[in-house]
Amino acid sequence: MPTGERRPSTVTTSRYRVLVCDLRSDRLLDVLPLQEVTIEDYIGKAGSLQGTVPIPSRAMADRVRPILIPARTALWVERDREIWWGGVLWSVNPKSDERGRISVEVQAGTFDTYLEHRQLRTTHRAKGVDQLDIARDLVDDAQAQPGGDIGITYDTELSGIERDRTFSASDQPKIRDLLDKLSKAERGFEWRIRCYRDASSGARVKLLDLGYPALLRGGDDVVLTHPGHVLSYEFPTDGTTVANVWQARGASDNRNQAAASRPLLSELLVAEEDLADGWPRLDGSSDHQSIDDPHVLAEHARAEATLARRPQVIPEITVHLDEQISPDLLGRMVRIRIRDDWFPDGLDLRHRVVGISVTPPDRGKAESAKLTLETPFGNRSE
């Protein structure tokens, strides 16, 4: 190991437990053991929890049965009393094996999955409004309905990007879909619901975390080495999504009932420099059936065309779970140093962490974490 690099710290056994709460009030109902658990959290998509609650006795069954109610119960995962994950319980599966041992499999999604089950009920119009405020207004609309408030909070930071948007209640759009579409427009933003415990009050917090142009957390780079901290790595590159010619399709024009309807089309965007550089012509397109504004459609087309021009590289590394690794890594920069037969000259790149999957210790296996990394921010030489 090169001089000056830290060796992985000695692995110690951490204690995990799940807090079972009422989704609307966050009232604590019980604290349960959890086995065979995996928790995942991401920037850009929903995270999940899978685990098993052992039922060794009738007394435990009577405790668990009335509180593990899908779509009504919230689960918070603690590691050594720190909040590491929070979300909505969506699936419960009590089962017995051939020896009569009973357990309950549970599956949950991060709190943003609740917004997949909420629809816009009042038409929303915004003209010249900061895009982050539009996002907050959508969440406010969901929580203002009777029974809809699950305690999602937010800050007041702005992006400086003002947009005109109309969301029609007659389309019955899901709040989650509206947030995703808004965030993915040209000069868009990132969002997630971040869970943590308030340092002063001790309250569990569900924060609508909005970041423009991206969710970035400060602090020095976390240095991870292989051999060393990194147990394994994958650097998959997917060329099936590449396109250098792009066009987006919007809503159909149905105003003239006597004529065939025609969809709204964006300008055909051609990356001429790629074709001149020897790339083959690769076509791509997208559908936005709810968009009838050509300017809004053009924003989406330009953003999608930019992302589609190069193969997607989504590195994943599995690391020892030590004091450097926690859910707070989401949005942080890490520096990956790898030297092996595939990278004989050494790889030294900075990445942003956009996903984390934690497997607690179980049946003799040490706890570990898999980090999903964004495409490298670029080389960083000494």
What token pair was written down for 35?
A: 């086995």
367 within a domain of the structure (yes/no)? yes
pLDDT at 3 over 80: no
Percentage of the chain beyond pLDDT 70 is 92
Domain match, 201 and 250 both: no
Q: 351-373 burial by CB neighbour count: b if 16+ within 10 A, else e?
A: bbbbbbbbbbbeeeeebbbbbbb
Domain match, 48 and 182 both: no
| Model confidence band, residue 321 (pLDDT cutoffs 50, 70, 90) | confident
Q: Note the pLDDT tens digit of each residue in 243-271.
A: 999 999 999 876 555 556 789 999 999 99
10 within a domain of the structure (yes/no)? no
Burial class (CB in 10 A: 0-12, 13-18, 19+), 125: exposed
Domain match, 53 and 78 both: yes
Calculate the CA 245 to chain-centre distance.
28
Please name the amino acid found at residue 297: L
Kind of pairing, strands 102-110 and 28-32?
A: unpaired
2 within a domain of the structure (yes/no)? no
Burial class (CB in 10 A: 0-12, 13-18, 19+), 115: buried
Percentage of the chain beyond pLDDT 90 is 76
pLDDT the model gives residue 17? 87
Which of 258, 273, 308 is the C-terminal boundary of a domain?
Answer: 308
Find the helix or strand (DSSP H, E) in which 300 lies: helix 294-308
Nearest to 120 by CA among 288, 298, 290: 290
Q: Note the pLDDT tens digit of each residue in 113-123.
A: 999 999 999 99
What token pair was written down for 232?
A: 């394994």
Domain match, 266 and 333 both: no
Nearest to 232 by CA among 350, 341, 371: 371
Q: Write the CB contacts of 377 (distance below 8 Å, at least 6 apart in sequence).
A: 333, 349, 350, 351, 352
Cα end-to-end span (Å), the chain: 17
9 within a domain of the structure (yes/no)? no
What does 161-220 look like in DSSP terms, one character per residue? -EEEEEE-GGG--BHHHHHHHHHTSTT--EEEEEEEE-TTT--EEEEEEEESS-----SP
340 within a domain of the structure (yes/no)? yes
**Least confident range of 1-5, 21-25, 87-91, 135-139:** 1-5
CATH number at residue 232: 2.30.300.10
CA distance 369 to 317: 8
1 within a domain of the structure (yes/no)? no
| Model confidence band, residue 378 (pLDDT cutoffs 50, 70, 90) | very low
Residue where the block lists tokens 């969710």? 215
Domain match, 232 and 354 both: yes
pLDDT at 8 over 80: no
Domain match, 122 and 187 both: yes
Tally of structural domains, the chain? 4
Task: Determine the structural domain holding residue 227 and report its residue range.
Answer: 222-238+312-379
Q: Note the pLDDT tens digit of each residue in 41-77.
A: 999 999 999 999 999 999 999 999 999 999 999 999 9
CA distance 114 to 87: 9
Cβ atoms of 245 and 282 within 8 Å: the answer is: yes
Neighbours of 124 (CB within 10 A): 17
Domain match, 62 and 74 both: yes
> What's the pTM value of the predicted model, to 2 decimals?
0.86
Domain match, 253 and 180 both: no
Please name the amino acid found at residue 363: R
CA distance 25 to 74: 10
Neighbours of 198 (CB within 10 A): 11
Which of 288, 308, 328 is the C-terminal boundary of a domain?
Answer: 308
273 within a domain of the structure (yes/no)? yes
Domain match, 234 and 352 both: yes
pLDDT at 323 over 80: yes
Cβ atoms of 148 and 107 within 8 Å: the answer is: no
CA distance 109 to 86: 8
CATH number at residue 185: 3.55.50
Domain match, 48 and 161 both: no
Domain match, 137 and 274 both: no
What letter does residue 343 receive in the DSSP assignment? S
What token pair was written down for 145?
A: 């309905």
Nearest to 111 by CA among 86, 132, 92, 91: 86
Domain match, 365 and 229 both: yes
CA distance 304 to 291: 15
Neighbours of 216 (CB within 10 A): 13
Sign of CA dihedral 235, 237, 241, 242: positive
